[in-house]
Amino acid sequence: MSRGWKSRIILGLIIIFSLILCKGLIINTSPVEENLSKVVIGYYPSWEKDTFDCSKIQYKYLTFLAHAFTKPDSDGNLIVEEDYVYPELVETAHANNVKVIMSIGGWGNCEGFPGMASVAGNRERFINQVLEFCLTNNYDGVDIDWEYPSNPEEEQNFVYLAKELSAALKEQNPPLLLTTATPAGDYWARWINFEEVMEYFDYVGCMTYDFHGEWSDHSGHNSPLYTCNNDPCGSADDSYEYYLSRQVPKEKLLLGIPFYGRSFDCSGLYQRFQKSQQYGYKEILNLMNAGWSRIWDDCAKVPYIRNPENTEIICFDDEQSVALKCRYVKEKEVAGVIVWEISEDYYQGSSLLLEVVGEEFKIKKKASQRR
């Protein structure tokens, strides 16, 4: 073999080795692939900033922060409250390889969506203002939390909004993310044309919680994994099956995990009640320490607690049920989870439930990778 051929072979081997090395370096820059095997979007409520600032967030257990909430008005203006702007949050998240998306809407903030989405000029104004805010404040994308489109006209306008907003976001370099938070069952989800809008969203976060509350006619679990006693209110498993039937791809589907529970002034499940309230997980732990007893429902795969007087229960998720939901996500091969919300499990300096999520989705690196 001539020297020229030998030189070419050596040069070729060097190029191949370099490409392999570069490919490995590129892959290893992804926070999802480095740390977590699933997408974890944690909602951060702006009104909790004073008690749960950005230094308390356990970023290693997250891939995205959804900063809640801004909102539209009916003319297409983006309404941003003064206390929402939080540059330190974005900077700290980015320093920890976590992307930040602006969440728009949320319960009680959606009255402007119908008017904004119904007029092309209003949608254009809204999208331009959203894009300007994201670029100015270094956000990585947008989360649309319209609760909820409720008629055929709004269903179609939601499609227009998703299509036009997606186009604007994807034109950026790098492209910005677009996600949406959607209802768990067909009562509201029937007005979302998933079959048409899925191409515009990177992820769809199914809010698999609030199955029971002050709106239901009986007590029950806030977020049961499985349906029991033929309960018509459903479960996370029911939602998963429903979303597959609506042509939502597994690789875009996120299931919801609540860090809170709901109380009922009755002695057990599936009973009539008068009042229902919301409790964060940290509040529930204090009640357990004060003598409330924990009961595990092995059918629904979630717990509840009962007060010593046997007159009130609280249905919620704890470390055991959160772990089971994460394993369900892995078993069903969906993209990951959304969490509402990440301040509610912060107890004595630790994010108890978020840590379970992170550990369940943590990539188990081989010995050779740890060197």
Show the low-confidence residues of the chain (pLDDT under 70).
Answer: 1-34, 365-371
State the pLDDT at residue 10. 41
**What is the Cα–Cα distance from 267 to 23, expressed in whole angstroms?**
59
90-114 burial: b if 16+ Cβ within 10 Å, else e = bebbeebbbbbbbbbbbeebbebbb
Q: Are 342 and 280 in contact (CB under 8 A)?
A: no
**Which token pair is 356?**
């379970």
State the pLDDT at residue 366. 60
Burial of residue 85 (number of CB atoms within 10 Å: 0-12, 13-18, 19+): middle
Three-class DSSP category at 55: helix
**Which token pair is 317?**
């998720």
pLDDT digits (tens, 9 = 90+) for 189-221: 999 999 999 999 999 999 999 999 999 999 999
Average pLDDT, the chain: 91
Q: Are 220 and 231 in contact (CB under 8 A)?
A: yes
State the pLDDT at residue 34. 61
Please give the domain boundaries of the chain with CATH numbers for all domains. 35-258+316-363 (3.20.20.80)
Burial of residue 207 (number of CB atoms within 10 Å: 0-12, 13-18, 19+): buried
